Structure 1
Amino acid sequence: MGDQTTENKGVPVLLRVAMAATAVGALLVYNSVDASPVQTQQATPPPAVTAVATAPAAPAEPAAPAEEPEPSPALPRSAPTRLKIPQIAVNAPFTDLTLDASGMLNAPAPDNKNLVGWYAAGTSPGERGSAVVAGHVDTRTGPAVFLLLRMLLPGNKVEVTRADGTVAVFSVDSVQTFPKDAFPDAKVYGGTGRAELRLITCGGTYDKKRKDYLDNVVVFAHLESWHKA
């Protein structure tokens, strides 16, 4: 995100999420059902045997039970209070983000360079689903909290302290840049079966005529563990 005048252009896509994700999820479930009829085959009777009786075969070893996959970790809902990303020296408080009259997400206040926001009506960091956290890359007065967000690497850790006294630790999966005019809503905000995090800011070239950055930087991360604050 850049300054406030650019934010309403840069992050409206944040909220075109819930209905699209629900529709995509329903379609995937529907298409995963195999509706073809079950085929049965009549067994062929064995030929008559006149050989002498032999010793009965040893009983077969019981099959080992299949290992069930480990469930992905997730936490109950709780508001985030602080974001820490040691690799890029981020240590910032959270603010709740709401919608404006046109249904777009209001950006964090531009007069506070060390502030991140999350859409309070959406998934909280640590809950199952995709939690969205937004922050400025700069403001009119200089660099801001997510200036170095694009420098994160897979495996870097993102820590979110929550109001319930837990710290959710996320591991970065990838950092990607998308043009704002071709932002992949389904990829960024689509439904997920595990607890994931999206960190979003502005990036790419700054267009002086539009007074806006042309791209968005998105960090994709998943919940790895948690501990008490």
Structure 2
Amino acid sequence: MLAGCSAAPDTAFPTTPTTAATSAAASASAGTPSPGAPAVEQPAAPTKVSIPSVGITSSLMKLGLNADGTVEVPPADQGMTAGWYTGASVPGAAGAAVIIGHNDTRYGKAVFHDLKDIAKGADITVTNARGETAHFTVTSTESVSKKSFPTEKVYGPTTGHALRLITCDGSFDAQGHPVNNLIVYATLD
């Protein structure tokens, strides 16, 4: 199973997000305002991510869950497009938002190919459907084995406004699949 890269067609993210992250996203839209209460504007879906320091700009597709409970990744034939996982927070809202992109696919270099070069302090800008932007600052990166992916750390609840970018990383196994994931952690400015 892969996250953000593909040697095999349309493979999925190796772990299931915690139910806390998915139920928090579901309950956020479940409330009913009391009579006379001002309407609360719902966050607009993200449509674009830009990381100038590494030359990345991409529109964003929506990603959900596969039938087996793993997180979808963008189709390999759309490797130059990143995706926002809709079961997590909207970028800029409270909680952890997650954007997944391929490093390489069978079609060649993909959208997050150069993500490995990102540095602490780099700016990540996410634009939403209303044209509003949220700026995030990279706080750290880590390369982790897909066999020990930190699901709770990536998808779990946070008290802040966080963004996680995920792609493949590391050496290759016998089938030619990368064995690690690169995770970029960022916080809202």
Q: Same fold (TM over 0.5)?
A: yes
Q: Give distance in 2, aligned partners of 1:183 and 1:7.
A: 19
Q: Which residue of 1 aligns with 2:51?
A: 85
Q: Give the drift of 1:18.
A: 3.4
The answer on whether the counterparts of 1:21 and 1:186 sit within 8 Å (CA) in structure 2 is no
Aligned pair partner of 2:157 in 185, 191, 206:
191
The answer on whether the counterparts of 1:8 and 1:105 sit within 8 Å (CA) in structure 2 is no
Q: Which residue of 2 aligns with 1:129?
A: 95
Q: Give the drift of 1:122.
A: 2.2
Q: Give distance in 2, aligned partners of 1:181 and 1:7.
A: 19
Q: Give the drift of 1:5.
A: 2.2
Q: Map 1:192-207 to 2 at 5 A.
A: 192-207=158-173
Of the structure 1 ranges 170-179 and 105-114, higher mean CA displacement relative to structure 2 is found in: 105-114
Aligned length: 169
Q: Give distance in 1, aligned partners of 2:55 and 2:137.
A: 16
Q: Give distance in 1, aligned partners of 2:7 and 2:74.
A: 8
CA RMSD of aligned residues (A): 2.1
Structure 1 residue ranges (4+ consecutive) displaced by more than 3 angstroms after TM superposition: 6-9
For 2:146, give the aligned amino acid. Answer: K
For 1:188, give the aligned amino acid. Answer: V
* SS of structure 1 residue aligned to 2:77: coil
Q: Map 1:63-74 to 2 at 5 A.
A: none
For 1:5, give the aligned amino acid. Answer: A
Q: Give distance in 2, aligned partners of 1:19 and 1:5.
A: 30
User: TM-score with structure 1 length normalisation?
Assistant: 0.68
1:196 to 1:76, Cα distance in 2 relative to 1, 3 A: farther
User: TM-score with structure 2 length normalisation?
Assistant: 0.82
Structure 1 unaligned blocks of 5 or more: 23-74, 225-229
Q: Give distance in 2, aligned partners of 1:123 and 1:4.
A: 28
Q: Give distance in 2, aligned partners of 1:141 and 1:170.
A: 30
Q: Which residue of 2 aligns with 1:213?
A: 178
Q: Which residue of 1 aligns with 2:30?
A: none
Percent identity of equivalent pairs = 36
Q: Give the drift of 1:21.
A: 9.0
Q: Give distance in 2, aligned partners of 1:20 and 1:116.
A: 21
Higher Rg: 1
* SS of structure 1 residue aligned to 2:93: coil
Q: Map 1:1-229 to 2 at 5 A.
A: 1-3=4-6, 5=8, 8=11, 11-13=13-15, 15-19=16-20, 77-209=43-175, 211-224=176-189
For 1:179, give the aligned amino acid. Answer: S
